[in-house]
Structure 1
């Protein structure tokens, strides 16, 4: 199973981004410290990253899978370049990759 279910955005203030979506649309906000906030609404979760050393240069679409290792192998076999090896984050593990056209995306797997 592969489906896009998350998008992460760089932000100058994760808290302010979360507050905006809460006030504007009534979406649920979950802060994960001062530099990261999740916003859930309309069937999607949005993440806002304000730590400069963790930000991507553009929005990062994230693909959910049940098997992170198999997804990493499939990305490499198809010509993708892993830009960030698998790492843990609240809720699961993920890795980042660049597809041959140059866009960076991520694949994640929830904690079992």
Structure 2
């Protein structure tokens, strides 16, 4: 259910929709609904937030001022290994920060995300 004045949806460009869908399905158990060949959506039920990917040769990177969406993991080392196994690239290996640790990665279409945990 949509809530007044609350974040509701996020969209990302994806140069390779098929690879991006396969990655998020394998690593984070997301499910997708396709709306034609150039758009696919994911839901809060499997992703935590509703959103989608649209076909475009662009990517979202923090070095260019993009917002960073951060996943939570109960086992950060296992999640990092899965990201690498399914075609993600680690761009900042696990590092500590006050309150936990995290790593940054790009998925097959080049969008940057991060994963955090309370412990390493």
TM-score normalised over the length of structure 2: 0.46
TM-score normalised over the length of structure 1: 0.49
